[in-house]
Amino acid sequence: MTTPLRKAVIPAAGLGTRFLPATKAMPKEMLTVVDKPLIQYVVEEARAAGIEEFCIVTGRGKISLVDHFDVAYELEATLRERNKTAALEQLAAMSAKEGSIVTVRQQVPHGLGHAVWCARAFTAGEAFAVLLPDVLVMAETPCLAQLADVYRQTGGNVLAVEEVPREHTNRYGILDVASDDGRLVEVRGLVEKPKPEDAPSNLSIIGRYILVPEVMAALEAQERGAGGEIQLTDAMAKLIGKGPFHGLRYQGRQYDCGDKAGFIEAQIAFGLQRPELADAIRGFLKAYSGH
C-alpha cells in the first residue's frame, strides 16, 4: 500500500564551485534562468505534482533560498502603491504557506545520500520526492507529476531515467534492467558512476526521485561509495527486491544547470518558451550562428 506523496526534499548545500565567482556570495540555486531562480523552478514542479511540504537541505550562507519564498512586506507595499498588479500576482504565486518550507543543515558535504539523510526527521516515515535543483526539466506534464502517476499505480521507488551515451556512464547512477516495456523499466540493480565497460546499461538517473521511507534506514549506515561519498544510489540499491522499484522514461527534456554549457542552453530553451522574448532570442541566435 502506498503512502500519500506530500513531501519533497531539495538538496541545496553544495558550494557551487563550478560557477565561481558568481556563487561566491550567492547560492548556485539562486542563479536565474530567464527571470526565475533554479530553486523556484523545482518548487513549482513539485507543487504541480501535489507536493505540500518542502525540506531544503542547506549549508552556510544560504538563507536567501528560504527568503525567496517569504513575504516581502516592503516590496509588496511599494508595488501596491505603484499599481504593479502583475508583479504582485507573481510574488503571490510563489509565496509559501506558513510552515510549508523548512530547512536543515548539512554541515559537512558528505554526498547526496548524506544530504537526503539529513532530512530524515522531516520525512517521518512517509514516501517523499527528491528534486535536484540544478537539473531543470522542460515537459508538457511536469516530470515529478509523471513519476507521481506511476507511484500511485505501482507503489515503491520510482526514478526518472533517460539514455546517455555509453562513454558517459561514469558520470551518472546507472540502472541494471530486469524488464523494459519502452516506458517503464523494472530495476534489478543500481550502480553509481560505473566505467563504460562495466555499466549494466546506459539508462541513467536524472535527478528526480520518489522514494519509500525505508531508504532512510539504508542511509543510516553512512557507508561510503563512489568518490568516498555517501551515495543515494547505493542506499536505493539495498531496497531492490524488497518492493516495487521502477525507472520511468519521462516525457520531456532535461538541462544540466550544474554545468555552464547546460546552464546557457537552459537560458535559451526556456527563453524561447516566452512569447515576449522568443523573437528577440531567435534574432540574436541567427546573428551569432556564423561565428
Report the pLDDT value the prediction gives residue 291, as an integer from 0 to 100. Answer: 59
Report the pLDDT value the prediction gives residue 13, as an integer from 0 to 100. Answer: 85
Nearest 5°: CA angle at 41, between 40 and 43?
65
DSSP-derived 3-state class of residue 115: helix
> Domains plus CATH for the chain?
7-258 (3.90.550.10), 259-291 (no CATH)
Of 190 and 91, the one with more pLDDT:
190
Query: Which tens digit of pLDDT belongs to each residue from 222-273?
Result: 777 777 778 898 899 899 989 999 999 999 999 999 899 999 999 999 999 9
66 membership: H or E segment, kind and range: helix 64-67
In our burial notation (b when 16+ CB lie closer than 10 A, e otherwise), range 176-215 reads: bbeeeeeebbbbeebbbbbeeeebebbbbbbbbbbbbebb
Least confident of 95-109, 172-186, 249-263: 95-109
Report the pLDDT value the prediction gives residue 84, as an integer from 0 to 100. Answer: 86
Average pLDDT of span 15-31: 87
Least confident of 23-27, 41-45, 113-117, 132-136: 23-27
Mean pLDDT of the chain: 89
Average pLDDT of span 149-157: 94
Query: Which tens digit of pLDDT belongs to each residue from 31-51?
Result: 999 999 999 999 999 999 999
Query: Grid coordinates in use for 196?
Result: 563504460
Query: Grid coordinates in use for 163?
Result: 539514455
Report the pLDDT value the prediction gives residue 1, as an integer from 0 to 100. Answer: 57
